[in-house]
Amino acid sequence: MSSTLPAEVLYGINTIYCVRCEDRLMQCRIKGKVLGRQKREGRSYNPIAPGDRVAVIPDPLSTREGLIVEVLERKSSLTRWNKKGRATQVLAANADLAVCVSSPGSPPFRPRFIDRLAVAAEAGGLEPVVVLNKADLPCPSEIRERLEHYKRMGYRVLTCSARSGEGIVALREALQGKTAVLVGQSGVGKSSILNSMSPALQLKVGELSQKHDRGSHTTNYSSLLLIEGDLRIIDTPGVRELELAEILPEEVGFHFRDFTPHSSGCEFQPCLHAGEPGCAVVRAVERGEIHADRYESYLRIVRELQDSERQGRG
């Protein structure tokens, strides 16, 4: 039997995975048995994701090809529900940080997207980080206040501008030595940030319509980029919707940090904070101690998960 080598998955296109193995890149397929086992376990839409640690058997005839025979257990996974595929999609495996990239305008700032990503990150074992790019553009006071609020809740918040270079060094430092997955709507400037951290990447920057052209491989799949200076970044394609996966409605509240000081005061335990009498979270919202928009975010996530439970998704 041939011996296996440890490798790390950079990206996959269709059923071919590009892995880094002993400092060289290899194109690998997955052994049918491994794939079958993962399918039976209902593992996901994409059985292998960027950042996955795998064992490969190199092809005896080619140093550039091999076969993935095992996927090692993940220490973290950032997932979402893929509506079209009707399955959980793993955006990134084994990452430490989930960096939510946002912008003050074009596209608009969406705090509810940040709330969702923060829940998905924590539930999957990653630390959420909030980044506001395009700091060279005017930033309305409501957005500044929301960012301050995220900081008060204990999230790391960074602002930067890929255009002016402001804050890029600090962002680089925050990511150094870790594996970070960048998530955000198309157009927030993920590619521009990556280019400004490493011009050699030469990622395509521009409008949604151009970048998502058929045939362009630049940003329509997640990919682990190994950048000089100890940066390991998983770039995801523009994520517009982040429907949560692999979390129960009753677990969502644990990831709303601002609810925690209040939730033990709810009359019913456990409390879903969604209409039960004597709910201390709702009282805190009424007193203005919990941001009303955070509560709205929470309710939307819980209702969406309840709906999907009713539809028998598991």
Kindly list the residues in this chain that would bind ligand GDP in the complex (CB under 6 A): 133-134, 136-137, 161-163, 184, 186-192, 205-206, 238
Cβ 213 to ligand GDP shortest distance, Å:
13
> What is the C-alpha separation between 285 and 279, in angstroms, rounded?
10
Cβ distance to Zn ion smaller for residue 171 or 266: 266
Residue 136's binding partner among Zn ion, ligand GDP, none (Cβ under 5 to 8 angstroms by kind) is ligand GDP
Cβ distance to ligand GDP smaller for residue 66 or 111: 111
Residue 130's binding partner among ligand GDP, Zn ion, none (Cβ under 5 to 8 angstroms by kind) is none
Q: Which residues pair with 291 in a beta bridge?
A: none
> What is the C-alpha separation between 254 and 298, in angstroms, rounded?
11
Cβ 72 to ligand GDP shortest distance, Å:
30
Cβ 257 to Zn ion shortest distance, Å:
15
Cβ distance to ligand GDP smaller for residue 82 or 191: 191
Cβ distance to ligand GDP smaller for residue 143 or 266: 143
Query: Which residue has the CB atom at the shortest distance from ligand GDP?
Result: 189
Cβ distance to ligand GDP smaller for residue 109 or 256: 109
Residue 266's binding partner among ligand GDP, Zn ion, none (Cβ under 5 to 8 angstroms by kind) is Zn ion
Cβ distance to Zn ion smaller for residue 237 or 265: 265
Q: For residue 296, which phi and psi values (nearest 5 degrees)?
A: -60, -45
Side chain identity at 131, as an amino acid letter? V
Cβ 240 to ligand GDP shortest distance, Å:
11
Residue 163's binding partner among ligand GDP, Zn ion, none (Cβ under 5 to 8 angstroms by kind) is ligand GDP
Cβ 113 to ligand GDP shortest distance, Å:
13
Residue 223's binding partner among ligand GDP, Zn ion, none (Cβ under 5 to 8 angstroms by kind) is none
Kindly calculate the radius of gyration of the chain based on its CA atoms and give it in whole angstroms.
21
The token pair at 258 is 């601002």
Cβ 4 to ligand GDP shortest distance, Å:
36
- How far is CA 312 from its chain centroid? 25
